[in-house]
Amino acid sequence: MAITTLIYSDSGKGKTSSIRNLDVNDTLLIQCFDKPLPFKDRGFEKYVISNTARILQKIQSTNKNIIVIDDFTYLMTFNFMNRLNEKGFDKFNILANDIYNLFYNCIYNVPNTKRIYIFGHEENIVVVDTVLTKCKTMGKLIDDKINLEGMVTIVLKAIIRNRKYMFSVQNNGFDTVKTPFEMFNEILIDNDLKIVDNAIKAYYNINTSTEDKEENTQNNIQDSIQDNIQDSIQDNIQDNIQEPKLKRRPPRNKGEIFLGDVTKGEDIPFDEI
C-alpha cells in the first residue's frame, strides 16, 4: 500500500512549484496536460498522459519511488469533455469509476515504499450553512459515493500567507486538510514537497531514496571492511600462538596415578620439551 497524498488549491498557489527540490533521479512526474514547469527543470522524468489506465500502467512499471500526478482535476475534465455529446448518466458513472480506480490502485496496488502525490483544484461547497473548502470533483456521484479525501490519510492545501507560499497541514474546521498525529509540528510549512516527503519517510520508516541507498551501501562496505580486518587479526593471533610440545615423563613413584587439576598448576604427567 503506497502512501498517497492529496494536495489541492486554486491555480497559482504553488502546487506544481512544490516539486522543485525533489530528487530528479527518484521522481516520476505525470502531467495530465502539457505545460511548462514554473521553475527551471533539473531533468525530471516527465510524461504527459490524460488516460487513467495509461497513468496506472506507468505508475506500476516505474522504478521511481516518488510519483507526482499534476493534476487529476484536468484528468476528470478531459474525460468529461470527450463524452460531452453522450446522452444519459452513464458518462458520469464512467467518470466516477475512472477516478475511483486511480485512487484505489495508487493506494492498494503500488508497493508501500512508494509515495504518490496527487494534485487537484479546490472548490467551495455549502454544508448546513457552512462553507467548506475541498478538492474539486466533477459530478455529484463522486462526492456522494466515494469521498476522495476519505480514501487517503494525508491531505494538504496550498495557500499564500503574507506573500509566502505555504502548505496547510492541519484542519481549520472549514476544509478537508489532515495529516497523521505528530507528523508535523507546525500548522503551516513551506510549500516544499521534499520537506513533506522526508516527513512521510521518517514517520513511516521508509528508507528508499537514492541518497539513502548510497549511504547504506557505503555503510555496508565499511562494515564489511571492518569485519574482514577483525577476522584477519584474529586469524593471525591464532596462527602465532604456539601450543607447547609435551612429552610423557616416567612416573616419579611406582604406580603413580595423576589426579591433579591442571588449571591450578598442579603437577601433570607431562613435561614441556
Q: Residues 85-124: pLDDT tens digits?
A: 888 778 788 888 888 889 999 999 999 899 999 999 999 9
Are 191 and 166 a contacting pair, CB within 8 Å? yes
Q: Among 22-36, 46-60, 122-136, 248-262, which stretch is predicted with the lowest mean pLDDT?
A: 248-262
Distance CA 133, CA 175 (A): 5
pLDDT band at 226 (very low <50, low <70, confident <90, very high): low
Residue 4 parent element (H or E):
strand 3-8
Q: What's the whole-model pTM score?
A: 0.74
The residues facing 165 across adjacent strands are 160
Q: pLDDT above 90 covers what percent of the chain?
A: 52
Residue 198 pLDDT > 90: yes
Q: What is the pLDDT of residue 270?
A: 45
